[in-house]
Structure formats: C-alpha cells, structure tokens
Amino acid sequence: MIYQDPVTSIDIEKQTLITNSGKLLKYGSLIVATGCTASRFPEKIGGYLPGVHYIRDVADADALISSLEKAKKVVVVGGGYIGMEVAAAAVGWKLDTTIIFPENHLLQRLFTPSLAQRYEQLYQQNGVKFVKGASIKNLEAGSDGRVAAVKLEDGSTIDADTIVIGIGAKPTVSPFERVGLNSSVGGIQVDGQFRTRMPGIFAIGDVAAFPLKMYDRTARVEHVDHARQSAQHCIKALLSAQTHTYDYLPYFYSRVFEYEGSPRKVWWQFFGDNVGETIEIGNFDPKIATFWIDSGKLKGVLVESGSPEEFQLLPTLARSQPFVDKAKLQQASSVEEALEIARAALPVEAAV
C-alpha cells in the first residue's frame, strides 16, 4: 500500500508511525529509505525564485526540461555530478551555458587536477564556459519576478534565465532522529545488515551510514547501485537467516555528450577508493586511465572510453587490491598496456 501522506513522527515504543493527516500506521519491521534532499540556496538570496531548479526526482527533471525548452542562458551552480551532467545536456540543446563552482576544478572529490583539466577542455570545446573559484552572493530577479542573473561576491554578474543548483544533498533523517544518527558522515547509523540500534528498524540507500567493510570505515553512498544492493541485502537479512556483512565496492560513472551529432561521447567508470598517489596513462583521445596506489596496492581505478572487457576488469582490480609495479605501470604506453599490467598483478583466483 502506498500513502501520499508524509510521516511526521514515530512512536518507537508502540511501533507506530504518525502521518501528516493523523493516520496511525503500525509496523512489525520498518525500513527507512528516505534518501536525501537537495541542498538549496536560502530564499533571502533568491534560492526559490521561478527559474531556479534543483534536481532530486522525476518532477524536478520534468520542470527543468520545461524551463530549458524556453531558455536562452543557463547557469549551472556546482562542479560535481549534477553540474557536469546538466551542463553537458544544456549545451547539447545549443543553449548559452556557464558552470560556476568554488573549487579549483571539476569533481574535486574524485578527479585529480590533471584529469579534471582534460574534461574541462572537452566541455569548453563543446561551448561550456567556466567560472571557477567563485562564490555567489545572490540570485537576482528580473521585472517579471523570474530569475535573471547570478551576482558573484566579486561584484560581477552573469545573466541567466534558468539556473540549476547542484551543490550536494543532505540525508533525510527526520522524523527518525531517535533511531540513531552518525555525526561524521551524516545519516542513520546501521550495521552490516542495515539494522539500526532500535530493534525492528532498518535503514538503506542514501540515508544509511553503514560499515564499508573492505576499507574498514563508516560511509554513506549516494548512488543508485548502492541503493539497489543495500535494499536487496536488507531484505535478505530480514526474511532469512542471512548473517554476512554487506561488502560494498564503491562505484561511480557518468555518460554525457551522447546525443546525436556529438563529436565526442564521454563514458567513464570508477571503482574502488581514491586514496594514495595517482598514475595517469593515456592521452584522452579518447581513452585515459587513472590508477590510485597506496602502500603499493592498487586501491582505485578510473577509465574513460573503455571497452566492455576493460570496464568489466575494473571491479576485479579494485576489490582484489593487487600489489602493482608502480614504475612499470608509469612506463605503460597505452591504457590497454596499463590495464594488462594491472591484470597480471592479480592473484590467480581473481584473474579474469
């Protein structure tokens, strides 16, 4: 049964949820899958003006498409996944597109400066303009009440009739705070079976702070792959005698510029942990690979424009964490050769 009636409170002792309309919903087992909400600009600086968009669900995407159909100048705020993918789509619609972010380069939480520079150049070749290292003072409205410009802290302004804000998301923990929160990564603390500290209550997906077994730390992962896998693991734990700990391998990817007529399609995949020093192989024409090595072990790997077989190899490498010959890897003349060196370092039982 689906209720279009938000839950506003929980009585843990009585195992009861209370909805906005006052309905009481009894539960035997409860799975919290509230996800995240998009971080927003405050209303006082224009964060809620008509023409300002945040993307979190299908309705948000539909509203953005409706705006883009009438747009001429688009500003994207944020240099992460949302920013990169929306900017690529907007310029594909032949719209004047500018991306603004406070960091020094795109996707700072994953990309190295060198790798980011490659993608930034590609975006610029496609017509995207960059304003890096910038802070926004406020969004300005035009005479019709719709957003008309972005004003930066340095006093400059950038005209825009459509603005997309992609500055991250916050786990939606309300009204489940009593279940137990994680103060370091946010979200609801769970164990390797997605059980909270309260009997009969579980949390999955974006909102769950879970033990990342292979790296021995607590994490929250905002990704559809984890959402699906955590749900499956939780249900198995709930309905069967499964006791093994969730063992997730971090995975991220992006596909952009794939529209008809695009001179260059982008599809990269990353598996593992981006810690340690990096080795970059390839010239981005179209392939490039970045390897993260820590204490001699291969911890993470990103490949752009890989073949199906190469992409299939990446999770095996990241999960096995083989010791690799760094000097040999640095001397590889191509992405193919580098991946073959990494493959040869796999233990026999993991080799594919």
Per-residue pLDDT tens digits for 299-330: 999 999 999 999 999 999 999 999 999 999 99
Q: Kindly state the percentage of the chain with pLDDT values over 70.
A: 98
Please state the rounded mean pLDDT for residues 256-270: 92
The answer to whether residues 129 and 101 belong to one domain is: yes
In a domain, 2, yes or no: no
Which tokens hold the place of 146? Answer: 């719709």
Q: Is the pLDDT of residue 351 over 70?
A: no
What's the pLDDT score for residue 350? 62
- Inside any domain, residue 178: yes
Question: Same domain, yes or no, for 148 and 179?
Answer: no
Stated as kind and residue range, the H or E segment containing 92 is helix 81-92
pLDDT for 260 beyond 90: no
64 assigned to some structural domain: yes
**Chain centroid offset of residue 225 CA:** 11
- The verdict on 210 and 182 lying in the same domain is yes
Q: How far apart are CA 347 and CA 22, in angstroms?
A: 59
Residues with Cβ within 8 Å of residue 255, at least 6 apart in sequence = 265, 266, 267
Residue 51's CATH number: 3.50.50.60
Q: At residue 87, does pLDDT exceed 80?
A: yes
Provide the pLDDT for residue 240: 86
Assess whether 89 and 115 both reside in one domain. Answer: yes
Q: How many residues does the chain have?
A: 352
Among 240, 255, 277, give the residue marking a domain's end: 240
In a domain, 247, yes or no: no
259 band by pLDDT with thresholds 50, 70 and 90: confident
Residue carrying the six token digits 């529209």 = 259
Give 300's DSSP letter: E
- CB-CB contact of 13 with 184 (8 Å): no
- Domain count across the chain: 3
With a cut of 90, say whether residue 24 has pLDDT above it: yes
Residue 90 has which token pair?
A: 């907007």
Q: Does 200 share its domain with 305?
A: no
- For residues 294 and 330, membership in a common domain is answered with yes
Which of these, 291, 286, 292, 288, lies nearest to 335 by C-alpha position?
A: 288
Amino acid (1-letter code) at residue 228: R
Contacts 24+ apart (CB under 8 A), 56-63: 56/169
Structural domain ending residue among the three candidates 168, 193, 222? 168
**Contacts with 150 (C-beta within 8 Å, 6 or more apart), sequence order:** 75, 77, 100, 136, 139, 140, 157, 158, 160, 163
Q: Say whether pLDDT at 79 is over 70.
A: yes
Q: What domain range is 106 assigned to?
A: 43-168
Judgement on whether residues 48 and 74 belong to the same structural domain of the protein: yes
Q: Are residues 111 and 198 in the same domain?
A: no
Residue 257, domain member (yes or no): no
Specify whether 301 is located in the same domain as 197: no
Number of H helices, E strands in the chain: 7, 23
Q: Strand 16-19 relative to strand 266-272: parallel, antiparallel, unpaired?
A: unpaired
142 shares a domain with 62: yes
Same domain, 180 and 231: yes
Out of 168, 183, 217, pick the residue that ends a domain: 168
10: exposed, middle or buried (Cβ count in 10 Å: 0-12, 13-18, 19+): buried
For residue 42, whether the previous peptide bond is cis, meaning omega lies within 30 degrees of 0, is: no
Q: What CATH number does residue 341 fall under? A: 3.30.390.30
Q: Is the pLDDT of residue 106 over 90?
A: yes
Same domain, 80 and 145: yes
- pLDDT > 80? residue 242: no
Q: Return the pLDDT at 165.
A: 98
Max Cα-Cα span within the chain: 69
Domain presence at residue 110: yes
More confidently predicted of 4 and 201: 201
The pLDDT value recorded for residue 352 is 52
47 in a structural domain: yes
Q: How far apart are CA 65 and CA 63, in angstroms?
A: 6
**Among the listed residues 55, 100, 107, the one whose alpha carbon sits nearest the alpha carbon of residue 80:** 107
